[in-house]
C-alpha cells in the first residue's frame, strides 16, 4: 500500500509570510496542532506547530504579528505519494514526527499522519512502533 492510498488530500497550508497570530488562528479553526508552510510557489519550506508558537514566540515575549518563517521548523521531512506505507512509518520514527507532508513535483499534495496508518488494521503494529519511537524524549531545550 502506498501513501497516496491513506493520505489526506487538499491540505490547508500557510505561507512563510503569515503571522504567528494568523497561524494560531488557522490551527484553532482547523483543530490541528501543526501545519505545513509553503513559499510563493507552494513548495513546502517548513512546518509550524503549536509547540513552535509557544516555545519560540510566546515564551520569549515576541510579537504575535511576526512572520512564522522566524519560528517555524524549516527542516522539511516529506514523502512522495508513491512511498510505501512501511517506509513512511520508518521515516516518521527516525525523524520523530507524527505527520509527513506529501510532495510531488515540489508541490504539496497531501499529508500522512500516524493516525492514517493506525486506522488501517494491517498497519497498527507499524503505527505503534513508529509512535513509540516518536514519543522517545529528546534532549531538553535550553
Please determine, for residue 127, whether its predicted confidence score (pLDDT) is greater than 80: no
**Dihedral over Cα of 134, 137, 138, 141: its sign:** positive
Domain for residue 36, yes or no? yes
* pTM, to two decimals: 0.81
Is residue 57 within 8 Å of residue 71, measured between CB atoms?
yes
Report if residue 141 sits inside a domain. no
- Mean pLDDT along residues 14-40: 96
Q: How far apart are CA 115 and CA 15, in angstroms?
A: 25
The secondary structure of residue 135, as a DSSP letter, is T
**91: how many CB neighbours lie within 10 A of its CB?**
17
CA distance 117 to 112: 8
For the stretch 57-88, pLDDT in tens is: 999 999 999 999 999 999 899 999 999 998 99
Q: 120 falls in which pLDDT band (50, 70, 90)?
A: low
CA pair distance 47, 49, nearest whole angstrom: 7
Mean pLDDT (whole number) for 30-46: 95
Would 78 be classed as within a structural domain? yes
User: Does residue 139 sit within a domain?
Assistant: no
Residue numbers of the domain that contains 121: 3-134
Helix axes 124-134, 85-95, angle to 10 degrees: 10
Q: Is residue 100 packed enough to be buried (19+ CB in 10 Å), middle (13-18) or exposed (0-12)? A: buried
Q: How many domains does the chain have?
A: 1
142 belongs to a structural domain: no
**Position 131 pLDDT exceeds 80:** no
CATH of the domain at 34: 3.10.580.10
Amino acid at each position: 500500500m502506498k501513501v497516496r492510498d491513506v493520505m489526506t488530500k487538499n491540505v490547508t497550508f500557510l505561507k512563510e509570510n503569515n503571522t504567528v497570530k494568523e497561524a494560531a488562528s488557522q490551527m484553532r479553526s482547523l483543530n490541528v496542532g501543526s501545519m505545513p508552510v509553503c513559499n510563493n510557489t507552494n513548495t513546502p519550506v517548513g512546518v509550524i506547530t503549536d509547540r513552535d508558537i509557544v516555545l519560540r514566540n510566546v515564551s520569549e515575549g515576541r510579537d504575535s504579528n511576526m512572520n512564522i518563517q522566524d519560528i517555524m521548523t524549516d527542516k522539511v521531512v516529506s514523502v512522495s505519494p508513491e512511498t510505501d506505507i512501511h517506509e513512511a512509518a520508518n521515516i516518521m520514527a527516525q525523524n520523530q514526527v507524527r505527520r509527513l507532508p506529501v510532495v510531488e513535483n515540489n508541490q504539496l499534495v497531501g499529508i500522512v499522519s500516524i493516525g492514517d496508518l493506525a486506522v488501517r488494521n494491517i498497519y497498527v503494529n507499524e503505527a505503534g512502533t513508529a509512535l513509540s519511537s516518536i514519543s522517545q524524549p529528546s534532549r531538553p531545550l535550553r
